[in-house]
Amino acid sequence: MAEKKMKVDVKKVDTKEFNLPETFFIRDIENRVFQGIVLQCLAEIEGIGLVEGNFIDSIFSRGQEGIAGIHVDQESKNQSVTVKIEINVQYGFSIPEKAEEIQTLVANEITKITGLHVSTVHVVFKNVLPVDQIKMLRSPLTTTTFVNTALEDEYNDEF
């Protein structure tokens, strides 16, 4: 028996005709992350303390996330961050030198950790305080307290 070979035309599909949607890679970084980075930076700088909110601020900001004195705005279109930090400075320290130290450290750390461009670091000096008051204000400038508080807010045993 002779075998007949059938010739089958196989058409190749041109992949250029497909319009595949463009892949977008999105990362969301919560403001608490930026605030944690800023807190860590401020803890390394001598002679400053974060401004604490007053009683009225704590009542009205109850539902808001964040730390009084650190405000972060993200611009997703151009992947940049604007940071505003309100601090107290210890008497005897140069305000321009402290501002430059804070701005440089915060901008470098945020860029290094998040990969985002820091467009502005606005430092607002609210008050000049004596040495003993700055030491009292610096004790809460630890990220451990900040992280534990954030975790306690999210995960608790109340039903």
Looking at the structure of the chain, the number of domains it has is 1
Q: Please list, in sequence order, all residues whose beta carbon lies within 8 angstroms of the beta carbon of residue 53, skipping any fewer than 6 positions away.
A: 61, 68, 69
Q: Which of 50-54, 142-146, 152-156 has the lowest mean pLDDT?
A: 142-146
Q: For position 23, what pLDDT does the model report?
A: 76
User: pTM of the predicted model, to two decimals?
Assistant: 0.65
pLDDT, tens digit (0-9, with 9 covering 90-100), for 16-74: 666 767 777 677 889 999 999 999 999 999 999 888 755 445 445 543 457 888 999 99
The CATH number of the domain holding residue 62 is 3.30.300
CA distance 69 to 102: 14
In a domain, 136, yes or no: yes
Q: For position 35, what pLDDT does the model report?
A: 93
Q: For position 65, what pLDDT does the model report?
A: 58
Provide the b/e sequence for 122-154 (b: ≥16 CB within 10 Å): ebebeeebeeeebeebbeebeeeebeeebeeee
Residue ranges making up the domain that contains 89: 29-152
